Amino acid sequence: MVILQNISYSHSNKDALFSDINLTVNAHEKIALIGDNGAGKSTLLKIIAGYLQPSGGQLITDAKPYVVPQVFGQYNHLTVGQALDVAAKLDALHEILKGNTTEGNFEVLDDDWTIEDRCREALAYWKADGLDMLQKMETLSGGEKTKVFLAGIMIHQPEVVLLDEPSNHLDIEGRQLLYDFILSSKSTLITVSHDRKLLNLLNRICELDFKGIKTYGDNYDFYLQQKAIETDALSQDIQSKEKALRKAKEKERETIVRQQKLDARGKSKQEKAGVARIMMNTLKNNAENSTSKLKNAHAGKIEAINRDLQDLRTSVSDVSKMRFGFQDSQLHKSKILVKADNINFRYDEHYIWKQPLSFQVSSNERIAIKGANGSGKTTLIHLILGGLQPNMGTMTNVAGKCLYIDQDYSLINNEYTVYQQAQEFNTTGLEEHDIKIRLNRFLFGRDSWDKPCSVLSGGERMRLLLCCMTINDIAPDIIILDEPTNNLDIQNIEILTLAINEYQGALIVVSHDETFLEQININKVITI
């Protein structure tokens, strides 16, 4: 069991990240922790793991959590055995088997005679049996590092497991193993993930935002249904407040006009009756004070409605605020843009594909390239783009413009500010205010225009690149996406999905995110 009581956390500069977080995770429960970038999901996970101390509140847990991290750089200097915290036991076991039966070796082994077998079986389950316990972590791919830490769950059998974006680096086979593990595991699981297929395997969704944490008692599909209901209610509340605001302003105008007419009529009667000037001034002041009181009364009411309306509008999802409008490709439908005839590519005298590849890409197709880690998907992309030439067969590309977007959104120049980057794509001479209007559409307000691109998150880089695409007047004939969702949270995946579905040209995607592929309407698959 894990209990969070009034947990708060502030950055070193005293800025509060979150406060008054209350959450109970029961034994064997499997929950998801979701929220926008910057909401504090990873920080909360580190507090539960014991890596960070909260600024306030209390963490209660009856077991030390085991962590499958998202970032592995801090482990690169370790061997696989050291990263799994089994190196000392394995060394002690091997020494004992060689006859070095010291008390120290027995104490380190602690009667764990099956440790080597468990390590071998766990790595084999995750299809990582080719790894050596003495191999350095820095020599492994991202997927292999993830599998090492996933294997550690089977080795150590922890009661509580914290998973931080566990499917990010896994191929389709690895993801399926992960899904099977989640379904069968008896451990308490707390998972941060944007993998919507994975989220549907969990039995509670906990959403973290600046207001705190809110629990939805079922899987991700149920969460989406509830959010849709909340969004509809919010929309109705906003419409109701907007109507009330219009009525209040109209009432204010009508009341003041009516009062001014009464005052003017009274003044006219007083002048005709020959009222003394001093009395006239007094009556005039009284009329002005009366009008001022009316204005203040209405202004207070209007201000209160405005505040309520502003609070409601700040609750609207950023996705709902986005405005796209991409230029359409001018190519006619079904024009063949890329054609590959029996192509293959060679590294160190060995061809990377057992069978040569033949395929074509037409202007209206949406194609997914699928294959295991190391199968040559990125190589195929560079062959399509012309950066590599096949060692066998022929590859032709007649597309006028291809846009390649990798998972790090490297088209964004880290030396530029946000505004300078947008200006780089301004091929039609848009005025400065037009550029800034488009930046606002993609949630880059005034305080972001001078921000260096080097400090942008993955989601921000993606949104800036999409904004740049709308600024550039020439739509690409082909967009190629290489694992585009790896560094994005759920909200930014939704933004990317909406944008891609508005694009009318040819699309080629490498992704292990099956939900994303389904939602962008893939109609053809190249399997390698």
Mean pLDDT of 356-370: 93
What does the pLDDT read at residue 5? 95
Q: What is the DSSP letter of 326?
A: P
Neighbours of 163 (CB within 10 A): 28
CA distance 284 to 287: 5
Least confident among 127-131, 319-323, 451-455: 319-323
What does the pLDDT read at residue 204? 95
CA geometry: angle 315, 321, 324, nearest 5 deg: 165
263, 271 Cβ separation under 8 angstroms: no
CA distance 402 to 408: 18
Measuring CA to CA, how many Å separate 40 from each of 9, 18, 210? Answer: 9, 7, 9
Q: Read off the pTM.
A: 0.70
| Residues in contact with 513: Cβ distance below 8 Å, sequence separation at least 6, in sequence order | 195, 196, 485, 493
33, 206 Cβ separation under 8 angstroms: yes
Q: Give 337-349 pLDDT, tens digit per residue.
A: 999 999 999 988 8
CA distance 187 to 275: 92
pLDDT surpasses 90 at 442 = no
pLDDT surpasses 60 at 316 = no
314, 445 Cβ separation under 8 angstroms: no
pLDDT surpasses 80 at 276 = no
Q: Give 88-137 pLDDT, tens digit per residue.
A: 999 999 999 999 989 999 999 999 999 999 999 999 999 998 899 999 99
CA distance 393 to 416: 41
Q: Give 5-50 pLDDT, tens digit per residue.
A: 999 998 777 778 888 899 999 999 999 999 877 788 988 999 999 9
CA distance 197 to 146: 18
Highest mean pLDDT among 81-90, 395-404, 442-451: 81-90
Beta bridge partners of 160: 188
What does the pLDDT read at residue 367? 96
CA distance 361 to 72: 37
What does the pLDDT read at residue 330? 57
CA distance 19 to 17: 7
Rg of the chain over Cα atoms, rounded to whole angstroms, equals 31
Closest Cα partner for 171 from 436, 306, 369, 420? 369
Q: What is the β-pairing status of strands 357-362 and 366-370?
A: unpaired
Mean pLDDT of 154-169: 94
396, 338 Cβ separation under 8 angstroms: yes
Helix, strand, coil fractions of the chain, as percent rounded to 5: 45, 20, 35
pLDDT surpasses 60 at 319 = no
Mapping DSSP onto H, E and C, the string for 467-485 reads HHHHHCCCCCCEEEEECCC
Residue 150 CA to chain centroid, in angstroms? 22
CA distance 111 to 93: 10
What does the pLDDT read at residue 313? 54
pLDDT surpasses 70 at 57 = yes
Decide: helix, strand or coil at residue 85: coil
Q: To 10 degrees, the CA torsion angle through 243, 246, 252, 253? A: -140
Mean pLDDT of 206-223: 89
CA distance 3 to 63: 11
CA distance 36 to 222: 18
Q: Give 475-511 pLDDT, tens digit per residue.
A: 788 999 998 888 788 888 888 888 888 888 899 999 9
Q: Give 378-402 pLDDT, tens digit per residue.
A: 899 999 999 999 999 999 999 888 8
Mean pLDDT of 276-296: 59
CA geometry: angle 442, 446, 452, nearest 5 deg: 80
Beta bridge partners of 394: 341
| Residues in contact with 431: Cβ distance below 8 Å, sequence separation at least 6, in sequence order | none
Mean pLDDT of 175-202: 95
128, 149 Cβ separation under 8 angstroms: no
Q: Which two tokens stand for residue 225?
A: 């249904």
Mean pLDDT of 406-421: 90
Q: Is the dihedral of CA 113, 119, 124, 130 positive or negative?
A: negative
42, 487 Cβ separation under 8 angstroms: no
188, 33 Cβ separation under 8 angstroms: no
Neighbours of 515 (CB within 10 A): 19
CA distance 251 to 249: 5
Q: How many residues are present in the chain?
A: 528
pLDDT surpasses 90 at 440 = no
Least confident among 38-42, 53-57, 215-219, 272-276: 272-276
pLDDT surpasses 70 at 230 = yes
Alpha-helical (H) ranges within 315-376 are 318-321
What does the pLDDT read at residue 289? 59
Measuring CA to CA, how many Å separate 155 from each of 10, 65, 85, 116, 466? Answer: 35, 14, 10, 9, 44
Beta bridge partners of 508: 367, 480
